[in-house]
Structure 1
């Protein structure tokens, strides 16, 4: 099924040094940019992570330190990459929980503050798990009747994800061919920050989603425990989480 798009939709996949959003780095990014008229633009870039790639990560994606030693750093490509995805909605496989939070961290470390507030995020894995409960290779076989060659190659994974979403729309007529709908359907919760340390409650209020203040309103915690903000800012939390927390703190300060 041809996707019904109002904005370009960028399917992307990251290969990384590991799975820690704060500490790990991107070693390869691949995307398929699908335009409303059906035109496709494919690009893959290797990136020097400026840190050793652990052997266990190389065992998964096959990328070694030698492969990326002469590649540009993320900071060197950040502005051009931000321009390439400007005005686009984003899609991926497990992207809401991993790829998007890690990508945002890389942009913030590079000093490029991209605004994703008006973007839609379609997580094909979430749609798959809600409908069938599987993995990307199984999803590709199930929906497209194809075997996923070169699994954990960013480009192969990215294109498979694109094909899976189109096949999901063919298989499930109850799914609307609309990116806003698919974005809402593929979201497990309403995160305030990309890592989900803060979420919106059923009243639309920002509440903490972890620790001793889980379920409590962020603005109440910042007011009643003034040291908590400092603890989080000094802690091992994603830069995006710290940025959002600071915005909430300043918003409440300015409203006084």
Structure 2
């Protein structure tokens, strides 16, 4: 059995290595198509290396028997996000290929609705897969917010940074790590961010139209995070109150037992 586990682990690691190789191939294709500069190449390679290293470490820690079809879809999305990241970095040195950037982003956003369905249908849903999917989504939103901010202003970065600020805050306030109840509104708002930023980045609308779309995205995101933080705060207070009530009940019970024992001793 140990040999079989080692063999499966090796196959899983091979899939991540193939993903890194495909990422480099995509960068090479983009480089030959648009003459990508050093910033795009270095950023794309850094993304590929970081993704491979973090994913390999997570797989080594969780030791799944196989990488799984849903994770393959998410890995494909990550490769596309790496291409988008390289194009955005390259846009600071030269005019961005908007059509190519929009095309890669659109495919990545479409596939975002695929990996979850694949996981459910194949019965391969895992905590690692859900976290992998979430991190790819969050990084794509961050990269798109960087791109759109060059036209609309630095305030757009709030969209991409909000999730990372929440994660950092949870380090200081552990009650923010409590699981949230499922919410269709939360999922809808999360999906809106990529669509709105893609629309603004496609340069199809006038400035006022792009501004309205991105403000809508930011407003809905602030509302969603605010609602979740308020729920987590109420949950923390309720949990603390229940714990205090339980401790008080225990103290009362102990005191009653002590009185009974004292009365028996007196008799």
- With the shorter chain as reference, the TM-score category is under 0.3
Q: Which structure's relative contact order is higher, taking Cα pairs within 8 Å and 6+ residues apart?
A: 1
**Structure (1 or 2) with the greater helix fraction:** 2
**Structure (1 or 2) with the greater strand fraction:** 1
TM-score (normalised: structure 1): 0.26
TM-score (normalised: structure 2): 0.25
